[in-house]
Structure 1
């Protein structure tokens, strides 16, 4: 499993691992050195003691001559000095010897035809080794803990400029043209180079956003004139007496498309001017007024497709009716795009618009949207059914942008019997979530995807 850590944590981990490795190598080296030195000193000491004993003129009462903790034996000795059978098989020189569970160091030598053995009990050495192991282990643990503490302190100081730079880059004011330069606050090191790179990248991003803003504003502004010409020409053609019914229907279709394009241009221009801030109030209208206008526009194409078009108003329980007004162009664009989306993807059944005090829903019995694709539907250029040739996949993205600008909430849910339900709640905070959940629970809808 790939476990991801922050850069600060990784510095502490690397510092601790490095210190653990160094402390471990030193601990093993100390133990190994002490063991080798102890063995060497034991060989010298036992050899010297055995030589001293053998240099005595008299061999009477040899048992009292070895040092404390040592035992002396001879193969022709008598009493306690007599060599037992287990000692007779020892080879000349230094070696370890065990009697039962007790360990001894043994020094064996031969003088003429006589063999001599000097034993030293290892319990005193084992006790010293245990103390040494304990001291080394405590030192090792303290070294690791100290390394972790120092690693955290050093990582905090090392990461402070990086954390400050990350906070400055995250700040949305950096996208403004008058935002201060980042590189001036940092030294000429790697962090300073990173800040300089961010300055260059943010500069290019500001230029791109500026070009996009100018392009959107210029295109939207320039399209107004030809759209006004189209709308005026359609009005004049509709008054032409010799126009047959088929031609009149085509002119009405052109007029309707022109009105929709004009609405879309107005919305794009308004969003481009706001730059992510709340759009100006401008023309305001009530929810029912916008719904009536769009119902008059969309009723005929929906019914010509063989669908049932329903517009109904209802109030939620325990909520007093209020005559609120909203930004008319933006609300018209949101509801119009949802109606267009429902009309485009519904071949049979119905399209229903339900109004309540602080929002509305657009429900259809169309082909629906797969669960794995619902979250992505609010992204630009994403379409529900790629087989259908019309549309660029910008409608729902535009709805999401408008709702985010106005602090509204749009909610997508799948109908159990097929189709979708888009719910737009025209209020902020927890009330918006509660309103959407109430309507969806009442309709028995599932797979809720909320975008605000």
Structure 2
């Protein structure tokens, strides 16, 4: 809505400025043309009068006088030129603009003076153009009023046109919002004319078809992955369970079967979490069963114990208060597996403590620690901590961040302030 108002404002402003500029240009041109034509007519008439007075002076030396009330003048000879005002005496032939004080009211007035010299006779014809200046000011006032009126008219027309032009865009936006409410997209182009808005609607329809096909392929892929991966994992789990029931198993083989069972369960949880992540990012998170955080934490710790083999590292769980959250257990298991697994991986000796309480889980290790400025960067895809050995693509913490964003959790890693190591915190909403 705000963008549409901005577009309407730009259209309105453009149309109003165009109307103002065009009318102002026309007014200036009118005043300029009127002034130029009037000056040419006055200059031409005054020169004709001066030549006529000069000719009359040659034919009737005793004559002279003012031709009219607006025209005053005199005809002098070279000997009597001193009678003319001093400012007139050295003027060449032609029409000149002069300013003199009026003898009656003392006001400074604007005159045009035509000077014509011929055979020792000089004719001066003066025309009072002050009245013409008054008419010119009245014309400027009139055209200024016309510019204001035309600008106001442009504003009104621009407002009407902007509403008319943007009406199809408003309808298109309203239909898109309605589609979002009902959750079903219908073709847009059928409701609009074959113009630019119709072309935009057609482009949106094409984009919607591509996105629908992409989502459908993604849904089918998730369904196929879910089926194809869960089946062999279920076979592995059931076979391991049967083998563990055999009476002739040695301790070594039994331990290996337990590792296979834990890895199978961990892979199943990871698949469920990733599939859930894919679905919920499209449709929003769905709450699962109530999950005991301490129980899931203990299961994750047990699944990670094989990493502690041949390492002088102790791991234990501190439960300060019972904590349950309403999410699928697989989601919490994947998040804790990455946080606890990273702590074990980077801790060469010492301990890893998992502390539950105050609506949070903290994984505290005695590893080399991290730099405070690198803490946030570790949650980016493909970024691994310094000294990370072995396999891994740096995706674990990125997956944890995505899960936390879906369920409004807060996950962070910071260096320990009391000793070497790092603290990974998972705060539940």
Specify the TM-score bucket, using the shorter chain as the normaliser. Answer: 0.7 to 0.9
User: For this pair of structures, how many residues does the alignment match?
Assistant: 410
Which residue is 1:260 aligned to?
266
Quick check: 2:98–2:113 contact (8 Å CA) kept in 1? yes
How far apart are residue 219 of structure 1 and its match?
0.8
**Aligned ranges 1:190-205 → 2 under 5 Å:** 190-205=196-211
Task: Write the mapping of 1:351-390 to structure 2, written as runs, cut at 5 A.
Answer: 352-362=353-363, 368=370, 374=376, 377=379, 381-385=381-385, 390=391
Which of the two has higher C-alpha Rg?
2
Gaps of at least 5 residues in structure 2 are 102-107
Tell me by how many angstroms 1:65 deviates: 5.1
**Alpha-carbon contact 1:341-1:395 (below 8 Å) kept:** no
Residue 220 of structure 2 is matched in structure 1 by 214
Task: Structure 1: state its 5+ residue gaps.
Answer: 316-320, 428-452
Contact 1:256 1:297 in 2 (8 A): yes
Q: Determine which structure has greater relative contact order: mean sequence separation of CA pairs < 8 Å that are 6+ residues apart, divided by chain length.
A: 2
Residue 88 of structure 1 aligns with which residue? 89
Aligned pair 1:34/2:41, yes or no? no
Q: Which residue of 1 aligns with 2:336?
A: 335
Shift of 1:29: 1.3
Offset of 1:41 from its aligned partner? 3.1
Q: Say if 1:326 and 1:153 are closer, same or farther in 2 by CA, change over 3 A.
A: same
- 2:273 is paired with a residue of what secondary structure? helix
Q: What SS is found at the alignment partner of 1:212? A: helix
| Cα distance change on mapping 1:144 and 1:237 into 2, 3 Å | farther
1:189 shift after superposition: 1.9
> How many angstroms does 1:227 deviate by?
1.3
Q: CA RMSD in A?
A: 4.3
Contact 2:416 2:423 in 1 (8 A): no
Deviations 1:1-54 (A, max 9, x none): xxxx95444433443443344234313311221211221232244346546766
- Tell me, in whole angstroms, the C-alpha distance in 2 between the residues paired with 1:344 and 1:194: 54
Deviation sequence 1:201-235 (CA, Å, 0-9, x none): 21121111111111112112221121123334445
TM-score of the aligned structures, taking structure 1 as reference length: 0.72
1:238-264 Cα offsets, whole Å, 9 max, x none, are: 97866575x776655444332221101
Partner residue in 1 for 2:105 = none
Cα deviation for residue 110 of structure 1 reads 2.6
Give the conservation status (yes or no) of the 8 Å contact 2:323–2:357: no
Matches within 5 A, 1:47-196: 47=47, 50=50, 55=56, 62=65, 66-68=68-70, 71-76=72-77, 82-97=83-98, 103-169=110-176, 173=180, 178-196=184-202
Seen in structure 2, the aligned counterparts of structure 1 residues 373 and 334 have a Cα distance that, compared at 3 Å, is closer
User: Does structure 1 conserve the Cα–Cα contact (< 8 Å) formed by 2:19 and 2:150?
Assistant: yes
Q: TM-score, normalised by structure 2?
A: 0.75
Contact 1:73–1:81 (Cα < 8 Å) also in 2: no
Give the direction of change, closer, same or farther, for the CA distance of 1:385–1:28 in structure 2 (3 Å limit): farther
Q: 1:342 to 1:412 in 2, by over 3 A?
A: same
Question: For residue 439 of structure 1, what is the aligned residue in structure 2?
Answer: none
The answer to whether the Cα contact below 8 Å between 1:53 and 1:66 also exists between their aligned partners in 2 is no
Alignment partners' CA distance in 2, 1:32 and 1:170? 55
Counterpart contact for 2:290–2:324, Cα < 8 Å: no
Whether the 8 Å contact between 1:309 and 1:352 is mirrored in structure 2 is yes
Q: What does residue range 225-304 of structure 1 map to in structure 2 within 5 Å?
A: 225-235=231-241, 236=243, 252-271=258-277, 275-279=282-286, 281=288, 283-299=289-305, 301=307
